Copies of this chain bind each other. A is one copy, B any other.
Amino acid sequence: MKIQIINPNTCLEMTHSMGQMAQKVALPTTQIESVSPSEGVASIEGHYDEAISAVGVLQLIQQGKLQHVDGHVIACFGDPALDAAREVADAPVIGIAEAAFHMASLVATKFSIVTTLARTKIIAEHLLYRYGFERRCAQIRCIDLPVLSLEQDRDNAYQALLVECELAKRQDGIGAIVLGCGGMSDMVQDISQQLNIPIIDGVSAAVKLLEGLHGMGITTSKWGDYAYPNLK
Contact = CB atoms under 8 A, between A and B. Distances in A.
Interface of A: 25-27, 41-43, 45-52, 54-55, 58, 81, 83-84, 86-88, 92, 94, 98, 102-103, 105-110, 117-119, 121-122, 126, 129-136, 146, 148, 169, 173-176, 192, 196-198, 200-201, 204-205, 208-209, 211-213, 215-221, 223-227, 229-230, 232
A132 B133 contact: yes
A221 B208 contact: no
Contact of A135 (B110, B132, B213): B132
B173 A226 contact: no
A223 B204 contact: no
B25 A216 contact: yes
Contact of A121 (B26, B48, B173): B173
A70 B9 CA distance: 32
A224 B196 CA distance: 12
Contacts of A173: 118, 121, 224
18 contacts: A45-B229, A46-B227, A47-B83, A47-B84, A47-B86, A49-B229, A51-B81, A54-B55, A92-B107, A108-B220, A109-B224, A119-B224, A132-B135, A175-B223, A175-B225, A208-B215, A209-B209, A212-B212
Given A84-B48, A109-B122, A169-B223, A211 B208 contact: yes
Given A47-B83, A175-B226, A92 B105 contact: no
Nearest to A122: B225
A130 B126 contact: yes
Given A175-B224, A212-B209, A229 B132 contact: no
Nearest to A224: B175
A146 B232 CA distance: 9
A215 B206 CA distance: 12
* Among A129, A208, A224: residue with most chain B CB under 10 A: A224
B109 A232 contact: no
Contacts of A176: 221
B92 A106 contact: yes
Contacts of A108: 220-221, 223-226
